Amino acid sequence: MPAVQRLLSLALPTLAACNALVGFGELEKVTVVRADAGDDEDDEDDAPPGASPDDGGGATPDAPPAQPSCDPTKPFEAPVALAGPVNSAAFEVAPTLMTNELTIVFQRTVGSDGGSVLRATRASVDEPFGEPVELAGLAQGLDGVQQPAMSVDGLLVFFVGLDGPNSAIYTASRASTSAEFGNRRAFVEVNSSASESFPGLTPDAAEMWLSVQPGVSSPRHLFRSVRDKIGGYGPAVAVSELASSKSEAGVAFSADGLTIFFGSERDGGKGDSDIWTASRTTLTAAFGPATPVVELNTARGEYPGWVSADGCRLYFASERQGDGDLFVATRGR
């Protein structure tokens, strides 16, 4: 079974067949209004979650790039499983962090349950994360929640919600990082009769990405929804330049949004889902050719989740040790 289908089948073994895509047009070049476009200091309180310059988590999305602690031209060193209780005998996937890397949110699935979204914190990047706590409010009334994608300010989260044989993208927000997520709703802007999974965000939250599968025997491909100036997201459109004949699922972006890491089962990898990367010259340009990140891939499934602000660390999930676990890989100096 392909890796992406296996991930969903852990919690949704009787997923109903999907109809053709509804409401998704051809890929169009769009003008992306970034989170800080046209804003000034007096507008801070009106910024939508995910765009606030006050993230309580270190550097902000629109701050000057952090000085890298690595050589960004060098390959990643050998990945290391995250220490501490964030990894367990259960299945972990979809790590997403705040800017300072002290808060992580991820999915854990125990046995055949529908999955939970957990949060863990640490005092410094040199320490293990502490005991995870379930974000129970996200799952209320659902059979399970999976694959979270959190904005770097920690105020906005997208995730997959399971309701019987159906799955859909949901979103929730909060006013501060000390509050619990609320205002949960189905993200109707991208949901359809297809199967949607693996939401992901650019660091400024101006683009929400996801994987869309039109039918149970069809591959998943990457789509994106662009946020407008007043904070609303538009319909999802296919990112055709990154599509292959196989499935793509899971994305992570560099701080400037110009480099993407994504999971793909396409030919040319090591097997199952591998991590690939591609770049674009501007935020409205198409991505160029994709290449595998060979030093991170194995014959088992790998799914990128989050890239540090300086581009030196990539957090991802891998099945190389059996069930899924969370890893971090660091570029050499």
Specify the amino acid at residue 136: A
Burial (CB count within 10 angstroms: exposed 0-12, middle 13-18, buried 19+), residue 108 = buried
Compute CA distances 58 → 55, 102, 153, whole Å: 7, 9, 9
What would the two tokens of residue 239 be?
């990112």
Dihedral sign of CA atoms 164, 166, 169, 170 in order: negative
* Confidence (pLDDT) at 50: 65
Question: What pLDDT score does 57 carry?
Answer: 46
- Spell out the alpha helix ranges (H) of 253-294: none
Q: Residue 225 and residue 148: Cα distance in Å, rounded?
A: 16
Residues 6+ apart with CB under 8 A from 271: 298, 299, 300
* Bridge partners, 317 (sequence order): 303, 326
Q: What is the pTM of this model?
A: 0.84
CB atoms within 10 A of CB 30: 14
Question: Can you spell out the DSSP letters for 255-302?
Answer: TTS-EEEEEE--TTSSSSSEEEEEE-SSTTSPP---EE-GGG--SS-E
Return per-residue pLDDT of the chain as tens, 333 residues.
555 555 655 444 333 333 222 222 332 333 334 544 444 444 444 455 665 444 444 444 444 455 678 998 899 999 999 999 999 999 999 999 999 999 999 999 998 889 999 999 999 999 999 999 999 999 999 999 999 999 999 999 999 999 988 889 999 999 999 999 999 999 999 999 889 999 999 999 999 999 999 988 899 999 999 999 888 999 999 999 999 999 999 999 999 999 999 999 999 999 899 999 999 999 999 999 999 999 999 999 999 999 999 999 999 999 999 889 999 999 988
d(CA 92, CA 106): 7
In angstroms, the CA 116 to CA 118 distance is 6
**What are phi and psi for residue 117, nearest 5 degrees?**
-105, 125
Superfamily for the 3-330 domain: TolB, C-terminal domain (2.120.10.30)
pLDDT for residue 73: 87
Count Cβ atoms below 10 Å from residue 96 Cβ, excluding itself. 27
Q: Where are the domains of the chain?
A: 3-330
DSSP class of residue 76 equals B
Give the C-alpha separation, 309 to 311, whole Å. 5
- pLDDT for residue 7: 61
Q: Supply 232's token pair.
A: 């609303």
pLDDT recorded at residue 317: 98
Question: What's the pLDDT at 176?
Answer: 96
**Category of 141 on φ-ψ map: left (φ > 0), alpha (ψ -120 to 50) or beta:** left
Give residue 51's pLDDT: 54
Helix (H) or strand (E) holding 136: helix 136-139
Would you list the DSSP string of 161-220?
EEETTEEEEEEEE-SSTTSPPEEEEE-TTT--SSEEEEEEE-TTSSEEEEEEESSTTSPP
